[in-house]
Amino acid sequence: MNQPLASIHPNAKIAPNVIIDPFVTIEDNVEIGEGTHIMSGAVIMWGARIGRNCRIFPNAVVSAIPQDLKFHGEETLAIVGDNTTLRECVTVNRGTDARGKTVVGDNCLIMAYSHVAHDAIVGNNVIISNATQLAGEVVVDDCAVIGGGTLVHQFCHIGAHVMVQGGSRIGKDVPPYVKAAREPVAYTGINSVGLRRRGFSNETIAAIQDVYRYIYQHNLNVSDAVRRIEESVPQSPERDAIIDFVRTSRRGIIRGYC
């Protein structure tokens, strides 16, 4: 861990077997877990909490202050979970008073030049492709895959097991298990390939498709669609997750493709 060409604050809490390359900067109030590798030129700033077995590639910046004019120096965190990779020039800003922390979960891959803004919450097993930009207080649920160059507006919610086409502009919530594509972005079907890779059975995938037929193919408003789903589709964790997502959406869900 001792690297004479790195700048490491003496108060930083760094596990003994962390690898720190030359020209890394690690500030005060930082914690880094076992087995993590911080590569040359990375900057780990005040308030960073980095888990075990992470890889932080050159010129990534973790826990810079938010790009939010409402931020006034409050003590907040940027948390990166275990086994997560931040590629070149990724930026993860720390939180504001809104949530107090920005979180990237376990087993994530955040590809080069992507940005995770203040108070965003990224779940576990998420892939965010190159140059994707998450605005403040965005939520991305577990196992979502976001294609390169995607722009996600503040407060948007991307559901679990979603596949978002590269270059999309997300201004509404994307419900779980679906594909979001086209311009403007819309529901284009179930992410059946991703679901099968995650071990979902054909029966479960068919049940998810039944739910979304009511939402997108029966010419119902969202409230009526939810009521019909509850009346007609057998209860399951997936059905209930979709209903809960739709009911609690702050931005409204993406439209169907016509």
Q: Is the sign of the CA dihedral 64, 170, 145, 122 positive or negative?
A: positive
Residue 136 is among the residues annotated as catalytic for this protein: yes
Mark whether 119 is an active-site residue. yes
Which of 47, 82, 95, 118 is catalytic? The answer is: 118
Q: Other CB atoms closer than 10 Å to residue 183's CB: what's the count?
A: 9
Asked if residue 130 lies in contact with residue 149, where contact means CB atoms within 8 angstroms, the answer is: yes
Distance CA 91, CA 81 (A): 15
CB 172 within 8 A of CB 155: no
Structure tokens at 8: 């490491």
Burial letters 107-133, b for 16+ CB under 10 A, else e: bbbbbbbbbbbbbbbbbbbbbbbbbbb
Options 119, 141, 142, 173, the catalytic residue: 119
Q: Given the residues 95, 136, 147, 159, select the one marked as catalytic.
A: 136
114 and 90 Cβ atoms separated by less than 8 Å: yes
Look up 218 and say whether it is catalytic.
no
Residues serving a catalytic function are: 118-119, 136
